[in-house]
Amino acid sequence: MDKIRRNERMSAMMKILAASPNRIFTLNNFCELFGTAKSTMSEDVELLRGMTEAFDLGRVETVTGAAGGVRYRPTVSRDKAREYILSLCEKLSGTERVLPGGFLYYSDILSTPDIVHFMGEILATQYYDSEPDFVLTMETKGIPVAFATADALGVPLVIARHSSKVYEGSAVNINYVSGSGSIETMSLSRRAVQENQRALIVDDFLRGGGTARGMVELMREFKVSVTGMAFVMATASPEKKRVSGEKALMTLTVTDGEPAEARVTPSDWLL
């Protein structure tokens, strides 16, 4: 390849940074890749910073200090988040998606990559400052969103199971009271996390908070602190959950009546 031009350097750097969100790359990484002086790379980074800001495409940031360099965070502005969640709410509201028992069908939303990434980035934006070491979810439906959130935060995903599995090695099991009042088991491999780490809990649905409370207790067994709890959807009722400090993207009310109707609205913190 001939001498690499600024437009090629910048677009390659944007691609590389965005593929590993929140990871710090040293300027030397890029100087070597492009055969460019550090001062030139600094200018490139500054231009990328301005570009991402101008187009509301997240943030390219310079990190100073010994472990310094440049990183990309796919942060979502509140305006963009609200607009997006509002359009999702419209899609989910109405009578068509209501199932017997007042449940809402939205598994399709929870596994469409574009939507899932955007939800993950909105949630991650709220938790960069709390610096979680990993994202914890409980199988099954929340896994894609939890993975997308972990991806945006640049940390691993940890998946708690309903029972211990031979291919997970020795595990810690706890019992918890589920939303329906039954006693359930939650299991996590001993190897999955380390003492004194910080967990962000992400799940698809919050009703009473039984499962979320179980995850908090599971983390206590591992001596891991919980830095936050985030959900795709929370029910309006019961208003009082068994956990507190949680953030949900949407709030769900299913009205009685024939046919039953779902009203889905963006949660307060997005407004």
Interface residue list for its own copies (CB under 8 A):
1, 6-8, 10-16, 18-20, 23, 33, 47-48, 50-52, 54-55, 57-58, 99-101, 103-105, 107-108, 111-114, 116-117, 139-141, 143-144, 147, 150-151, 154-159, 161, 166-169, 189, 191-192, 205
Q: What is the DSSP letter of 268?
A: G
H/E/C letters for each residue in 208-261? Answer: CCHHHHHHHHHHHHCCCEEEEEEEEEEECCCCCCCCCCEEEEEEEEEECCCCCE
Shortest distance, position 152 Cβ to its own copies, whole Å: 9
Q: Which is nearer to its own copies, 221 or 269 (CB)?
A: 221
Q: Which is nearer to its own copies, 101 or 245 (CB)?
A: 101
Shortest distance, position 36 Cβ to its own copies, whole Å: 14
Shortest distance, position 167 Cβ to its own copies, whole Å: 4
Shortest distance, position 54 Cβ to its own copies, whole Å: 5
Q: Which is nearer to its own copies, 18 or 86 (CB)?
A: 18
Q: Where are the alpha helices (DSSP H) in the chain?
A: 6-19, 27-34, 38-54, 78-92, 113-127, 143-153, 210-221
Q: Measured between alpha carbons, how far is 180 from 144 in angstroms, rounded to an integer?
A: 24
Q: Which is nearer to its own copies, 5 or 223 (CB)?
A: 5
Shortest distance, position 51 Cβ to its own copies, whole Å: 4
Q: What is the DSSP letter of 170?
A: S
What are 246's two structure tokens? 């949680």
Q: Measured between alpha carbons, how far is 166 from 79 in angstroms, rounded to an integer?
A: 46
> By the 8 A CB rule, do 262 and 95 touch?
yes
Q: Which is nearer to its own copies, 8 or 79 (CB)?
A: 8
